Amino acid sequence: MRFWRSSGFAAVGSLAILVSLVVAGLLGVVVWRTAVVAGDVTDMGAVASPAQEPPSGWLDQYLDKLSGGALMAVLQARGVTEYTLAGKRITVPPRSEVVPTADTPVGVDPNIEENEPSITVNPTNPKFVVAAFHAIGTGRCAVYRSTDGGLTWSFVTFLPLLFPTDFCGDPVVRYSPNGGIVYAVYMSIRDVDPGEPVVLESDIVVCRSTNNGQSWCTTPVVAIPGGPGRFPDKPWIDVHRFFPGSNTNNRVYVTATVFTPSGPQIEFSRSTNGGLAWSTPAVLASGPVQGSRPIGGRAVSASAGVVLVCWYHAESDGSLTGVFDIRCRSSGDYGTTWNHEVTAVDNMQYELTYWLGPNCAYHRWWGAMFPSIMIGPDGVAHIVFTADLTPSATPDGCPDPDHSLPGADQEAGDVFYVRSPGYPYNTWSFPHMVSRDSPGFAQGYATVNVKIINGVPVVFVAWMDHRVSFWTGAPNSKYAIYGAWTWPGKWGWFSENIPISDAESHSDWIFIGDYIDSATSNQANDPFVYLIWTDRSDKNSEFDFEDDVWMEKVPLP
Amino acid sequence: MLVAGLVAVAGYALIQPLQTTSQALTTSTTTMSTQNQATGTVHQTADKPLRLNIAMDGVEFTPGSTIHLTASIQNTGTEEVLLEYFIGQLFEVIIRDGSEAPVYIHSDTGFQKYLMAAPRHLRLAPGESHTETIEITLVYSRGAEKNNPLPPGTYTLTVYLTAAVQGHPSGIIDGVKAYTSASTTLTVRPR
């Protein structure tokens, strides 16, 4: 993590960039990126030397401007075990014991476009972390896993498809509440008519692992079927995240948008036997709806357990223009029956444009309106989403010469948060803006999670943030991952926005994988949120498709 | 090293606006029409390796009739070209009336624009082509006249290659994010 703050951000940020470039040259390494590659760090653990001051010189006065991970990497590379900074004596841990608060590579094949990552950590044993993401170019979705708490990652397999010539899309992974099963949900897509025009079908399928992601099913199970007149899109899967027990450990839920001739609808399917069989999908909503996610809540008995599903609704003024809603339905019997629809966020101003502005210059953006949801151990539900306070005159964000309309501006979105105290989740707070930058750049594709710190359920939000493009002269051409947190007693107040990813990524012309994802364990000695994102920090053109996936363990206060 | 760092950062900052404001510089080829088939006028960046060609199964149609449009892209360069596009959205088609107002936008007629599925890759070797046939019913696609047949008159049909091309900048053509475009005219006659 970087530790500079928004005050004087431009000057400090530029200075840090310069310093880092110089440091990289001096050390012969790229400081931002090498600190956490296991092969580089393990041998350094044996280095020991007396307490010493860092070498004198102009560079060292800027060491405290480096990110935490980069600073430790510099000191460890010099063999420093202790040093003094501003009168404070700091112990530098051996490299093998470094708390990995720097970016960590997950999927970085230079020949594969890896993006849209999802991550999950074993709630009872955070040594095991599993990720899945697109491997565009292969037509498959890749699974990676870590057995050392996210320090190092290894490719496991490509998720199996329903038919051999299918291609994979939109994977999401989640651990069961007791850590016994890892679920992966994804789209298995095919062209059913090799002739023209192209006719596509998809099914939402689930594959699972019962050994922490080491091996996976050979044939996936259909959770939400497609077929003629039905095209299921972008699934999400989740469990009773903070409520393990015999009533919940084998329960798992999937939602997706299903496009039909009469329009899109939100469909829900559930499994009570650990993902081996799935219920006939229930239609929870129809109309201008999309972007749903499920989450499990409190479980009282074998028949009484809470499930919440929320989604985006374009409102009566249409998609990509005007206002929009976030709507939800809850169930008190594990998704067997459902309460009426509730508007959690009503007439939110305003919808995002299809493409990221200014002037539709960058990747697909409108999906950032879709909610990310979580129910904490206290039963409180949290939603984050993105809205644009400075609406565009055109739905796609491009200038419209036919009607002499300008395109979207650079302030193309901010992250907002709402909460509801408990089941049946009929009342929700007013939206609270989480992302704050001035002058405004685009923030979006937020993820929300909860981590219990000293018994307190800390709510953590992270998002893609384009404020880091301020120095380029091309607004929103760069993004980084930022975060903030809040906790009970501080509702409505968030920490200042903290930069999380150590390097700036370059935006893409059409696609950066849309979503980022987060995960937490239930272990007190694991005070982290595990964040994963599409990384393009080695790119300088939006017309270079190749993406990578990186993650970071974010320590919470 | 400090000077090198300053130069690198300054140079990069200067390059950014240039990279993101690139627009398609267009040249034209000749429109060729026959009684039974029409081919398109291509607005093509001179140094781009992909050429877009379009053809229709006629030049005169009746209101509400369906035309079959063939859009073909060919790699005219010397190296393989990689395209990335969202499924069902390799091309966009817009029909404009005599006042250049859009009356038909192909993406209005399907759900593909709203899919959040992963994009696809298409690789074209030198000389290789990819062709898709698109069915277009000559009706208004939006507004108060939605689904009503286009009235008699002369229209301009434009196909936009909306795929991104690896290493080759796209731009905004007629308000559409596109790599290149091709246009032709069609006439709607009274029944």
pLDDT tens across A250-288, in order? 999 999 999 999 999 999 999 999 999 999 999 999 999
E runs forming strands in chain B: 38-39, 41-43, 50-56, 60-61, 66-75, 81-86, 91-96, 102-105, 119-124, 129-137, 153-161, 164-165, 171-173, 176-178, 180-188
Pairwise CB contact (< 8 Å): A541 & B132: no
Global pTM reads 0.83
Provide the residue type at A371 as one letter.
P
Residue A289 located in a structural domain: yes
Which residues in chain A have their CB less than 8 angstroms from residue B19's CB? 474, 477, 540-542
Q: Closest Cα of chain B to A544: distance in Å? A: 6
- Same domain for A253 and A321? yes
- Cβ neighbours around A79 below 10 Å, total: 12
Which among A50, A73, A97 is the end of a domain?
A97
- Same domain for A317 and A460? yes
pLDDT digits (tens, 9 = 90+) for A45-69: 323 233 333 344 444 555 555 555 5
Domain of A414, CATH number, reads: 2.120.10.10
What is the 3-state composition of chain B as percent helix, strand, coil, each rounded to the nearest 5?
15, 45, 40
- Same domain for A89 and A115? no
Cα gap A240→B101, rounded to integer Å = 53
Cα gap A543→B80, rounded to integer Å = 15
- Same domain for A183 and A77? no
Residue A192 has pLDDT above 60, yes or no: yes
A278-289 b/e (C-beta count within 10 Å ≥ 16 → b): bbebbebbeebb
Which among A97, A112, A144 is the end of a domain?
A97
> Residue A439 has what pLDDT?
74
**Facing A18 at nearest CB: one of B6, B88, B166:** B6
Domain topology for B24-188: Immunoglobulin-like (2.60.40)
Q: What is the torsion angle, in degrees rounded to the nearest 10, for the CA atoms of residue A507, residue A510, residue A512 and residue A513?
A: 170
> Residue B37 has what pLDDT?
59
- Same domain for A415 and A344? yes
Instruction: Report yes or no for ipTM above 0.95.
Output: no
> Residue A245 has what pLDDT?
97
- pLDDT-derived band of residue A488, with 50, 70 and 90 as boundaries? confident
What are the structure tokens assigned to A382, written together?
A: 């949290």
Pairwise CB contact (< 8 Å): B172 & A398: yes
Which among A97, A131, A152 is the end of a domain?
A97
Cα gap B31→B28, rounded to integer Å = 9
Query: Residues of chain B with pLDDT > 90: what percent?
Result: 68
- Same domain for A450 and A405? yes
Q: Report the candidate in B159, B4, B135 with the shortest Cα–Cα distance to residue B65.
A: B135
A314-323 b/e (C-beta count within 10 Å ≥ 16 → b): bbeeebbbbb
- Same domain for A362 and A422? yes
Give chain A's domain count. Answer: 2
Residue A443 located in a structural domain: yes
How much is the average pLDDT of A204-229?
A: 97
Among the residue ranges A161-170, B27-36, B60-69, the one predicted with the least confidence is B27-36
User: Most B CBs within 10 Å: which of A19, A61, A185, A196, as the mutation test of the B interface?
Assistant: A196
**A22 or B106, which is more confident:** B106
On whether the CB atoms of residues A523 and A87 are closer than 8 A, the answer is no
Pairwise CB contact (< 8 Å): B111 & A543: no
Nearest-Cα residue of chain A relative to residue B133: A197
> Residue A31 has what pLDDT?
32
Residue B185 has pLDDT above 70, yes or no: yes
- Same domain for A276 and A232? yes
- Same domain for A349 and A451? yes
What are the structure tokens assigned to B64, written together?
A: 């509400």
Pairwise CB contact (< 8 Å): B115 & A542: no
Residue B61 has pLDDT above 50, yes or no: yes
- Same domain for A88 and A172? no
Question: Where are the domains positioned within chain B?
Answer: 24-188
**Facing A473 at nearest CB: one of B13, B133, B176:** B13
Cα gap A123→B108, rounded to integer Å = 45
Residue B51 has pLDDT above 50, yes or no: yes
Query: Can you say whether the dihedral through the CA atoms of A274, A279, A284, A286 is positive or negative?
Result: positive
- Same domain for A50 and A198? no
- Its domain, for residue A31, covers 9-97
- Same domain for A128 and A63? no
Residue A1 located in a structural domain: no
Residue A243 located in a structural domain: yes
Residue A2 located in a structural domain: no
